[in-house]
Amino acid sequence: MYNQEAHEKAAKAANKLMNQRAPLMLGREPVFINYRCTEPVIEVLQPLCPLKWDRLADVTMGIGAGFSNMGEVCGALSGAVIAIGLDLAGRYRDTAVLRFLTIKFTQKLMRDFAKEFGGVRCRDIIGHDISGCLTPGDPGYRAFLKDMLEGKLRPCSEMITYAIMYPLPSEQEDLHPPL
């Protein structure tokens, strides 16, 4: 059963994580690297899933920000797809059933996400090509942040919140493998 309160609490925690930045020295300049969108989604959804791995967000962080700022699939969406796998793999051992259900629920999430945000690719959603931008000081990344701060873009926190609030397969009514 879908637990809206648990998802709302998770979304609030994820948005707090997104505001954390870690300093990194590149040459003589400190650069602050924020969490990537996949990380908070996995961090806060994993406790709602039966299968857990304490370093999963670390292992998958390269997926965030449209596969490390390359403008590909939204990291929040990628994190939600990983959560689908965690939710289902903790409940099913039959690989064929697991594969069927993972595809079914991933397709449903992808369709719903695209309907809400106009696409699933980071560069399509944010309207900026930030591919190759490694740090927030890069001109492409700076333009993206400027537009976001001026309210010209939907903030990434909306995609993260959507991914977290989306019901996991075990919280949806139609979780039945094919006969």
How many domains does the chain fold into? 1
Does 174 map to a domain? no
From the number of C-beta atoms within 10 Å of its C-beta (0-12, 13-18, 19+), residue 133 rates as buried
118: Cα within 13 Å, side-chain hemisphere = 8
Mean pLDDT highest for which of 1-5, 9-13, 81-85? 81-85
CA-to-CA distance for 63 and 86, rounded, in angstroms?
A: 16
Question: Two tokens at 104?
Answer: 């079914």
**The pTM is what?**
0.80
- Residue 49 contacts residue 87 (beta carbons within 8 Å): yes
Does 176 map to a domain? no
Does 26 map to a domain? yes
- Owning domain of residue 34: 4-169
Mean pLDDT throughout 148-155? 86
Pick from 47, 71, 76: nearest CA to 60: 76
Radius of gyration of the CA atoms of the chain, in A: 17
Does 45 map to a domain? yes
From the number of C-beta atoms within 10 Å of its C-beta (0-12, 13-18, 19+), residue 160 rates as buried
- The 10s digit of each residue's pLDDT in 12-60 is 888 887 777 666 666 666 666 666 777 888 888 888 887 777 778 788 8
Sign of CA pseudo-dihedral 113, 114, 118, 120: positive
Does 125 map to a domain? yes
